[in-house]
Structure 1
């Protein structure tokens, strides 16, 4: 269910109570937060997303200061340029001070924002606030923009997305006007929490398609995390077929310069930049991967044929490139770029880069389906997609939301 998230920034308790009471009368699924000063409200907006924000014109800058007559406008100006804040769909200035009404209205108009007089004992402002809240809720509901905690991206519908949709999340399919992607919305109930998830597959394999869908999902649905699931090639001797790799860093192994050495031989000089996993998320993933019970449950849940060897979870570098590899010599060249590399695939770096630009957290969890050599086949793709999705199902409840 879509929830309307509202933040009231006001140090007058009576006014906050009146606003909250009026909004709760609407019968909408609504979550209301309040802050009494600009500094704490700004910190909250940096960590959480809100659809409607009401800002008192006269507002304390911090908890230990008194209200300043026009501090609400200064607060608005700050959050408007703060690149760590998701700008709410709708913002209203509010005031109960009639002596500065015209001056306040002029300041609000200069910012293209409406000013609403809110007197707890008055009835005039109530219909306006109710109508604005209903309008914002209709927009939010039509776009599903506030109800997603985690967005799962896969490169392929089969077997990657199909294994994600096999998770018992009560998936519901949805399409948006003018958007060719199919979105699957579900809820993961784990560790006492209900976590809202959306899953979507890119239109095709490769960095460009995954970057496009990741950026679109991050913009449209504003998840806290983008999670890339699916399959990859592993490095022989470091990973077994079906093992999950948590990408501690990713880079485009094809980025660099082709030139000649003194003898005239063609050489490639890598110039790739790396995207790295947040250290806290890396440690959480490592902790979950080290739990024997988790690994045993994942292994036991697969009833078809499975590769020999133990199932393990690894954390390490993952190389991304535009080409499908089935040649040992090329793999050796990639290992030369980073001797600790564990996996090679075609999308991870693009998703990590998209998350950075959209201010989302990003995690890549891919499972080994082959070794990118002459024996490459599709035999273990479904099993690898399964282990990737199942490890995600154990990890999601540990993510800080």
Structure 2
């Protein structure tokens, strides 16, 4: 629904990319000061020359902006005239300007502008503006100052009467209302009237579709919203619409929840047979071109029914897969897209029959071939290089989390017996033959062994394979010298596990999350995965179609998932022994996944992380590669590249993930791919390596990066603003219910420990505190001055400022906890007031403490273990500060912090201080 709504309301808006480009061009033409004026004016949306002049005088007078900036802005492409003397800021441009406003002037500035606008409207009557435009301006100001009242007024006006009966809000006003609800989403989401706000949004969105005559499917969307969200229809036009639709229309409309594409017929057959009725529940249908597809239903664990469609192309390969998926998506409009089937697996990471879920898919052999002559020893030597394009298509982040914790009960649905691999059967037979040959009186012949039928069912095939490998003599079942040597070596190597038969494979398939590479041809190459790992670490699978599914899903803007069973290792022993089993387990897991997880039409990732540059298209990535290629020509050595990335502020974790031994072109390709896929976190949203690189380049003297021209710099500035805009949307993408629930639980905890903090001496307790640079905001900050703790090694106390900084996180891990703790420590250092000299004069050891408290709903066992065992002092080298990260789990009402040193030596690293710090944690932060 959300995507449809956005398409209707934003139809006449600029795209985000074009809006960013217009802002960048404006800034490059007129300069920073002109852009600052535009950012301030953007919030008001509806402008007159007088308003722009007053904003310049009241907010930017110290910047000495020339008056001509006012007309330059109003007459630029950032604005459009509404009537004589009245202008409107282009809505998407306004979003970009507001992001820049907050980054440059802080989060309070929009509220200051809203107060100014409200005061202006109260004191000034502008005859140039209609009453309707003044109402819009009043709602803009009121949305920031009193969102509850704004929602109440909008909802009341929307529900009053039909357009032709309402003299206050005519048809043009009815069109304006959905537009304003969309524009004012950010301030309105701060309301306490959650239910009323949701009804306002949904009614206005449906009205928008109705007014542009998009009635198809609207009745069904309304009924679905009523059922799922308790949606209440308030607008008479919408009620009339429901009455006009014939009831039989609803029966002809079926939502397809999941479209599954397989590459080949046997993979489709395996999928259909997962209904446990030999595929008889599937209905064969034909698409508009007469090609067959199959439809069935599955029961979700919540009691609802899922409509499933499956199909395969006439021939395998990504082109045929792409054509089929595109055609069926256009016709059937599925909510989700999936692919199941088989693949080759990386032998060192997976077993035959395991299931690989693609965390990302990419095309392995989509190459650029470059040949040139190179002068070596006075001879022209032809040199050839292949540069790979490794653009990836990624799994939804919340699906990734769900798969990591997916229950194992789906294994009980598998019906095909797991084959014994030829490797397993061969090792079993070799060891049995060795026992018999060495001790014929103690052991029976292998063919008479009681385990033979289960451990070596493919007797004849195995014997033939062993003879081909020269491990069995050709005229008998006698081991060759080579075989005897192998068995002896194995028994020496696996001495402790011989009784458990080290060659035995797992009974059940394991689920793996990792990269899958798509190739255009069938591969039988023992070195295949070694070649691919030069481009993507931890590559798990290779096949021929998945990248087509990823590309189609990105273009069609629907979530996708790739699930493949491992049928072989793509080596010289490639065969179809596991094909049937692998096809079934991939289908079984896919069905288990979709009948278990919570499904939603909202495609926004409500999580702690997001990939903000997934918006980049192929030509953007090519342009960025070209710019970086020119940039790194200035840093030809490995150390030069590393030094540049370190100088811009990129952390070691990211730098160490790069292979600096690659050629310049390949290094650039890999770097751009990693930058595109980098995930920002809510704990540190503005940290992104690409944004750091761009900020560094654009803030240095132009001559420093002489290889880049003006067009390159403009492109980087566009990317920077697009990234900031995406980060802003990411930070706003939480449902009102989520925000309300999180705040409620956090406030309950804060109220319980507030008394404890005051008993410790905290008289300065603040809510919603921002860091000095405006990048971070903390829910609660408590400060205790002259906070004393005993020092274990000396008869002196430690004294300094103690900060208790508390914030809520939907989830957290040890890495993001460290990031958060570092942010809190930086805030504490900015706010500390104690003097080192004064503490020494009073015979105290100067020591400040920062307690970084992360409140979470749940915490998994692995992160609990790491938090309790990893000493934070190992990461902080500031002798004047103790950095103390703490996690409070709401579901358990339990604190987690460093209290279980993982080794004997760890007990000597600040343990004396830790004993006293733990007492403070347990007496102050427990609810």
Q: TM-score range by the shorter chain?
A: 0.5 to 0.7
Number of the residue aligned with 2:921: none
Match of 1:185, SS state, is strand
Displacement after TM superposition at 1:391 (Å): 1.1
Match of 2:512, SS state, is strand
Which among 129, 151, 155 is matched to residue 63 of structure 1?
Answer: 151
Number of the residue aligned with 1:364: 562
Distance 1:156 1:76, change over 3 A: farther
Map of 1:198-217 to 2, 5 A cutoff?
Answer: 198-217=309-328
Task: Check whether the contact 1:284–1:398 (CA below 8 A) recurs between aligned residues.
Answer: no
Instruction: Specify which structure has the higher proportion of helix.
Output: 2
Displacement after TM superposition at 1:77 (Å): 7.6
- 1: CA distance, partners of 2:246 / 2:180: 24
Distance 1:266 1:112, change over 3 A: same
- 2: CA distance, partners of 1:77 / 1:331: 52
Task: Check whether the contact 2:287–2:293 (CA below 8 A) recurs between aligned residues.
Answer: no
Number of the residue aligned with 1:313: 511
Number of the residue aligned with 1:329: 527
- TM-score when scaled to structure 2? 0.30
Q: Are 1:257 and 2:368 matched, yes or no? A: yes
Distance 1:175 1:131, change over 3 A: farther
Match of 2:153, SS state, is coil
Q: Are 1:147 and 2:255 matched, yes or no? A: yes
Displacement after TM superposition at 1:256 (Å): 2.5
Number of the residue aligned with 1:275: 393
Q: Are 1:157 and 2:275 matched, yes or no? A: no
Displacement after TM superposition at 1:136 (Å): 5.0
Task: Check whether the contact 1:230–1:367 (CA below 8 A) recurs between aligned residues.
Answer: yes
Q: Deviations over 1:279-305 (max 9, x none)?
A: 1011112221xx34444x256x32363
Q: Deviations over 1:228-268 (max 9, x none)?
A: 10000001111111110010001111122112374534221
Q: Deviations over 1:51-76 (max 9, x none)?
A: xxxxxxxxx99733332433443467
Displacement after TM superposition at 1:174 (Å): 3.2
- 2: CA distance, partners of 1:376 / 1:238: 17
Task: Check whether the contact 1:173–1:182 (CA below 8 A) recurs between aligned residues.
Answer: no
Task: Check whether the contact 1:298–1:391 (CA below 8 A) recurs between aligned residues.
Answer: no
Map of 1:29-40 to 2, 5 A cutoff?
Answer: none
Task: Check whether the contact 1:247–1:318 (CA below 8 A) recurs between aligned residues.
Answer: yes
Number of the residue aligned with 2:593: 395
Match of 1:183, SS state, is strand
- 1: CA distance, partners of 2:579 / 2:243: 52
Which among 186, 204, 210 is matched to residue 296 of structure 2?
Answer: 186
Displacement after TM superposition at 1:276 (Å): 0.9
- 2: CA distance, partners of 1:63 / 1:76: 12
Once the two structures are overlaid, the 10-residue window that deviates more, 252-261 or 355-364, is 252-261
Distance 1:91 1:182, change over 3 A: farther
RMSD of aligned C-alpha atoms?
A: 3.6
Task: Check whether the contact 2:567–2:582 (CA below 8 A) recurs between aligned residues.
Answer: yes
Match of 1:398, SS state, is coil
Task: Check whether the contact 2:419–2:578 (CA below 8 A) recurs between aligned residues.
Answer: no
- 1: CA distance, partners of 2:575 / 2:268: 19
Number of the residue aligned with 2:672: none
Displacement after TM superposition at 1:383 (Å): 0.8
Q: Deviations over 1:14-66 (max 9, x none)?
A: xxxxxxxxxxxxxxxxxxxxxxxxxxxx759559xxxxxxxxxxxx9973333
Distance 1:359 1:190, change over 3 A: same
- 2: CA distance, partners of 1:173 / 1:242: 29
Instruction: Specify which structure has the higher proportion of strand.
Output: 1
Number of the residue aligned with 1:373: 571
Distance 1:391 1:74, change over 3 A: same
Distance 1:202 1:285, change over 3 A: farther
Task: Check whether the contact 1:250–1:349 (CA below 8 A) recurs between aligned residues.
Answer: yes
- 1: CA distance, partners of 2:265 / 2:576: 15
Task: Check whether the contact 2:355–2:565 (CA below 8 A) recurs between aligned residues.
Answer: yes
Displacement after TM superposition at 1:135 (Å): 8.0
Displacement after TM superposition at 1:206 (Å): 0.9
Map of 1:3-42 to 2, 5 A cutoff?
Answer: none
Which among 162, 172, 176 is matched to residue 282 of structure 2?
Answer: 172
Q: Are 1:383 and 2:493 matched, yes or no? A: no
Number of the residue aligned with 1:343: 541
- 2: CA distance, partners of 1:181 / 1:76: 41
- 1: CA distance, partners of 2:588 / 2:551: 25
Q: Which protein shows a greater Rg?
A: 2
Gaps of 5+ in 1: 1-41, 48-59, 80-84, 94-107, 115-124
- 2: CA distance, partners of 1:113 / 1:278: 30
Task: Check whether the contact 2:390–2:535 (CA below 8 A) recurs between aligned residues.
Answer: no
Displacement after TM superposition at 1:329 (Å): 3.3
Number of the residue aligned with 2:175: 73
Displacement after TM superposition at 1:223 (Å): 1.6
Distance 1:91 1:212, change over 3 A: farther
Match of 1:151, SS state, is strand
Distance 1:400 1:217, change over 3 A: farther
Gaps of 5+ in 2: 7-135, 140-149, 158-168, 182-201, 216-238, 375-380, 422-503, 600-927
- TM-score when scaled to structure 1? 0.67
Distance 1:76 1:250, change over 3 A: same
Match of 2:405, SS state, is helix
Number of residue pairs matched by the alignment: 307
- 1: CA distance, partners of 2:394 / 2:288: 33
Match of 1:342, SS state, is strand
- 2: CA distance, partners of 1:157 / 1:185: 16
Task: Check whether the contact 1:171–1:184 (CA below 8 A) recurs between aligned residues.
Answer: no
Task: Check whether the contact 1:277–1:363 (CA below 8 A) recurs between aligned residues.
Answer: yes
Match of 2:296, SS state, is strand
Task: Check whether the contact 1:218–1:355 (CA below 8 A) recurs between aligned residues.
Answer: no
Distance 1:176 1:285, change over 3 A: same
- 2: CA distance, partners of 1:369 / 1:46: 43
Displacement after TM superposition at 1:130 (Å): 6.1
Number of the residue aligned with 1:28: none
Displacement after TM superposition at 1:195 (Å): 1.6
Q: Are 1:247 and 2:443 matched, yes or no? A: no
